[in-house]
Amino acid sequence: MKASEIIKKYISFFEKRGHKRIVNSPLIPQNDPTTLFTSSGMQPLVQYFLGESHPLGKRLVNVQNCFRAADIDEAGDNRHTTFFRMLGNWSLGDYFKREQLPWFFEFLTDVLKLDPKRLYVSIFSGYNSIPRDNESARIWKKLFEDLGIDPKDKIFYYGVDKNWWSRAGLPQDMPKGEPGGPDSEVFYDLGTAHNKKFGNKCHPNCQCGRFLEIGNSVFMEYQKTEDGFKPLPNKNVDFGGGLERLLAAVENQNDIFQTSLYSPIVSAIEKTTGSSYKENSRAIRIIVDHFVAAVFIVKSGVSPSNKEQGYVLRRLVRRAFDNINSIREIENMVVSTKTVVESIISQYKTTDPDLVQNFERIVSTILEEINKYRFTINKARSFIQKKYPQIGDELKGVKKISIDDAFILYSTHGLSPTQIKSLGYVFSVREFAKKMEEHQRVSRKGAQGKFAGGLVDHSDQTIIGHTATHLMHQALRDVLGNKVFQTGSNITSERIRFDFSYDKKLTNEEISKVEKIVNEKIEKNLPVHFEIMPLKKAKEIGAIGLFNEKYEGKVKVYFIGGPSTHSVRSGQPHTQAYSVEFCGGPHVDFTGKLKRFKIIRQENIGHSQRRIYAKVGAFL
Ligand code: SER
């Protein structure tokens, strides 16, 4: 059974149980300043856990491309990757534990035909006022017993460090307003021997690699408050299962890189480096993972740079290149890059067909970054050679460089300590770590104000900013014409950033006109409301906006300055609202809350697109 078949079976299993399929959201989140990448299926759904209604109803299912930058250093073992696809099903205040756990168990044992004897589960053991999850324990007990399996050795209890899920992690790390809850995970026993290095006794969460976590049902029913937790308006289910790991279990592979998904990519790397996976498994796993992630990040429109997503992409490409070099130095990377990218695209094009038309761009972006990296390395070398003219003389051990110079190679030339060492330079790792800590303390201070809205992107300020983008979008079209349409946006509690198609610099006069229109709409204190309607109708009434969610014909549309849509006597669909946009929300109820609007900067972002930064309300 191939990865794409697992996806098909999963979606159809849940569709048969009343779920509607939602789209695979962009890997670079829209309107969420708090996170650089979509890292789980639930991320684009946060507002619905907090109580907004979803146009498709209360049961949703999808497969989501995810990237977790925090796992970059984990890559290299038998089961961790930074890029992965997550199967997800959600109940927004509909079914709960009694349906979710048996359904997932049925999917694993009946549909994927996994041996139930090799399945293990974990359960939340309780935390402060939140009790131990006895209901899940009873459900699992019965499921195992019904198959004649003694549940005694199958159910394991863990605390908040293992069986609590929120975007921020542990309960104490969650900002006010963030949703979270206890979870129950399912593990597959790969049957490998336990390694005592990881503890005397093996158990599902043991790090020895024997147990593979293949699914997580989060019972999203709490919201963080000032001094604890309160129940969310609804009891929700947020299930996520890593496709690559499910495939490993189905194919009975104790290494996900040996599955039918990854092995052709592994072969492409073996071919290009002239080495075997057996001898270089760690390096090849890192190359595979980082290349796959880079392919998807470049496809999303990101270029390597020194900030945000671009920086992560730069790290991935450079680290992949270091690992290639550690196996074999390849002078000309063109053929190798093409071969590896081709193998990746052929593995993922069923679910992501647009990879194919992006092939050339992906290859050239990666090659360009590799060349830049080589240039950086040469510059770093000549910087050191100038400072230490004697450095070529290895026999005298003069490759030792000062900690300050090592740090310059890191902070100015962008080389990591490992990369500096791989150039043959010697310095005190301890001293370097001390210097790094000091550096991070200073930059953390600088970054503190950056995302003042906290992790939950539903602070009053960001909601205000969100409504402002709708007004600005329409005002830009009023001033510049209807060829203006949104291509992206990003809202923090301090400013809004809005990207749109337009190939000229806006004049000061045009900027003032846009500001004036938006401020007029704010002063009029227009009402804001939404309606869920058939897509056809939304299009007829001229709804605009980034429309990449196909809700099987139904969409959510926000109106500013109603009244709501109504047919006029001519029979033509009609709305008197000023702004009509496809949008998930949330928004303010009246535009007066925006107080005032001001454009602070514009930029050309290429491909006939411009970017505007603006401020709203209280921040002016
Ligand atoms: N949000 C949970 C996770 O990412 C389940 O979907 O594991």
Give yes or no: residues 140 and 95 share one domain.
yes
Q: Does residue 455 fall inside a structural domain?
A: no
Q: Does residue 475 fall inside a structural domain?
A: yes
Q: Is 449 left (phi over 0), alpha (psi -120 to 50) or beta?
A: alpha
Relative orientation angle of helices 359-387 and 403-411, to the nearest 10 degrees = 160
Tokens of 300: 């999303």
Kindly report the length of the chain: 620
- The DSSP-derived string for 324-338 is HHHH---S-HHHHHH
- What is the Å distance from ligand 1's center to 588 Cα? 29
Residue type, 452: A
Q: Which of 391, 411, 445 is the last residue in one of the domains? A: 445
Between these two residues, 356 and 397, which has the higher pLDDT value?
Answer: 356
Residue of minimum CA distance from atom 6 in ligand 1? 240
Between these two residues, 550 and 507, which has the higher pLDDT value?
Answer: 507
Mean pLDDT: which of 39-48, 69-78, 453-462 is highest?
A: 39-48
Q: Does residue 265 fall inside a structural domain?
A: no
Question: Is the CB–ligand 1 distance for residue 40 below 6 Å?
Answer: yes
Whether pLDDT at 21 is above 60: yes
Question: Is the CB–ligand 1 distance for residue 216 below 6 Å?
Answer: yes
Q: Which of 56, 22, 37, 46 is nearest to 463 (CA)?
A: 46
Question: Is the CB–ligand 1 distance for residue 220 below 6 Å?
Answer: no
Residue 39 CA: which ligand 1 atom is closest? 4
Between these two residues, 433 and 90, which has the higher pLDDT value?
Answer: 90
Give yes or no: residues 245 and 287 share one domain.
no
Tokens of 336: 């190798």
Question: Is the CB–ligand 1 distance for residue 66 below 6 Å?
Answer: no
Give yes or no: residues 314 and 400 share one domain.
yes
Q: Which of 420, 445, 470 is the last residue in one of the domains? A: 445
Measured between alpha carbons, how far is 155 from 121 in angstroms, rounded to an integer? 5
Q: Does residue 512 fall inside a structural domain?
A: yes
Give yes or no: residues 432 and 500 share one domain.
no
pLDDT at residue 249, as a whole number: 96
Beta strands in 565-596 (DSSP E): 579-582
Residue of minimum CA distance from atom 2 in ligand 1? 240
Give yes or no: residues 252 and 278 share one domain.
no
Question: Is the CB–ligand 1 distance for residue 41 below 6 Å?
Answer: yes
**Mean pLDDT along residues 400-421:** 84
Measured between alpha carbons, how far is 140 from 150 in angstroms, rounded to an integer? 11
| Tens-place pLDDT, residues 195-248 | 888 889 999 999 888 999 999 999 999 999 988 999 999 999 999 999 999 999
CB 205 within 8 A of CB 211: yes
Give yes or no: residues 187 and 277 share one domain.
no
Whether pLDDT at 494 is above 80: no
Residue of minimum CA distance from atom 3 in ligand 1? 240
HSE-up (13 A, CA, CB side) for residue 194? 10
HSE-up (13 A, CA, CB side) for residue 490? 14
pLDDT at residue 569, as a whole number: 40
Q: Is the peptide bond before 563 cis (omega within 30 degrees of 0)?
A: yes
Q: Which of 233, 257, 281 is the last residue in one of the domains? A: 257
From residue 504, give the alpha-carbon distance in Å to each of 236, 482, 611.
Answer: 47, 14, 11
- Give 565's pLDDT tier (boundaries 50, 70, 90): very low
CB 311 within 8 A of CB 362: no
Whether pLDDT at 573 is above 60: no
pLDDT at residue 620, as a whole number: 67
| Tens-place pLDDT, residues 302-332 | 999 877 889 899 999 999 999 998 898 888 8
- Give 551's pLDDT tier (boundaries 50, 70, 90): low
CA 131, distance to chain mean position in Å, is: 31
Q: Does residue 454 fall inside a structural domain?
A: no
- Give 570's pLDDT tier (boundaries 50, 70, 90): very low
pLDDT at residue 585, as a whole number: 76
Q: Edge-to-edge strands of the sheet including 528-534? A: 528-534, 554-560, 579-582
Question: Is the CB–ligand 1 distance for residue 213 below 6 Å?
Answer: no
pLDDT at residue 572, as a whole number: 47
Question: Is the CB–ligand 1 distance for residue 240 below 6 Å?
Answer: yes
287-301, 336-350, 558-572: range with lowest mean pLDDT = 558-572
Give, for ligand 1, the residue of 40, 214, 239 to mutate: max count of ligand atoms closer than 8 Å to Cβ: 40
Q: What is the mean pLDDT of the chain?
A: 88
**What CATH number does the domain containing 244 carry?**
3.30.930.10
pLDDT at residue 39, as a whole number: 92
Q: Does residue 267 fall inside a structural domain?
A: no
Residue 167 CA: which ligand 1 atom is closest? 1
Relative orientation angle of helices 243-250 and 3-15, to the nearest 10 degrees = 110
Measured between alpha carbons, how far is 67 from 83 in angstroms, rounded to an integer? 4
pLDDT at residue 398, as a whole number: 56
Q: Which of 27, 85, 26, 18 is nearest to 56 (CA)?
A: 18
Measured between alpha carbons, how far is 308 from 310 in angstroms, rounded to an integer? 5
- Give 442's pLDDT tier (boundaries 50, 70, 90): low
User: pTM for the full model?
Assistant: 0.75
130 forms beta bridges with 127
Long-range contacts at 24-28 (CB < 8 A, ≥ 24 apart): 24/62, 24/63, 24/64, 24/65, 24/351, 25/64, 25/548, 25/549, 26/300, 26/548, 27/65, 27/66, 27/67, 27/296, 27/297, 27/300, 28/297, 28/300, 28/301, 28/302, 28/309
* Strand 554-560 relative to strand 579-582, pairing: antiparallel
Relative orientation angle of helices 281-299 and 333-348, to the nearest 10 degrees = 70
| Tens-place pLDDT, residues 136-172 | 999 999 999 999 999 999 999 999 999 999 988 899 8
Question: Is the CB–ligand 1 distance for residue 90 below 6 Å?
Answer: no
Question: Is the CB–ligand 1 distance for residue 242 below 6 Å?
Answer: no
| Tens-place pLDDT, residues 452-482 | 222 334 567 778 888 999 999 999 999 999 8
Q: Does residue 151 fall inside a structural domain?
A: yes
Give yes or no: residues 201 and 324 share one domain.
no
Task: Report percent pLDDT > 70 for the chain.
Answer: 91
Domain range for 278: 273-445
Give yes or no: residues 79 and 21 share one domain.
yes
Q: Does residue 173 fall inside a structural domain?
A: yes
- What is the Å distance from ligand 1's center to 185 Cα? 10
Tokens of 55: 């146009």
**What CATH number does the domain containing 495 carry?**
3.30.980.10
Give yes or no: residues 187 and 325 share one domain.
no
Expressed in percent and rounded to 5, the helix, strand and coil fractions of the chain are: 45, 20, 35
What total number of domains does the chain contain?
3
Give yes or no: residues 430 and 349 share one domain.
yes
Residue type, 165: W
CB 401 within 8 A of CB 385: no
Whether pLDDT at 41 is above 80: yes
Residue 66 CA: which ligand 1 atom is closest? 4
Task: Report percent pLDDT > 90 for the chain.
Answer: 58
Whether pLDDT at 410 is above 90: no
Classify residue 118 by burial, with Cβ atoms within 10 Å: 0-12, 13-18, 19+.
middle
- What is the Å distance from ligand 1's center to 375 Cα? 40
Measured between alpha carbons, how far is 528 from 262 in angstroms, rounded to an integer? 48
38-42, 128-132, 537-541: range with lowest mean pLDDT = 537-541
Give, for ligand 1, the residue of 48, 87, 218 to mutate: max count of ligand atoms closer than 8 Å to Cβ: 218
Tokens of 14: 């849940």
Measured between alpha carbons, how far is 389 from 381 in angstroms, rounded to an integer? 11
Give yes or no: residues 507 and 565 share one domain.
yes
User: 510 CB contacts (<8 Å, ≥6 apart)?
Assistant: 479, 480
Give yes or no: residues 532 and 401 share one domain.
no
Between these two residues, 444 and 321, which has the higher pLDDT value?
Answer: 321
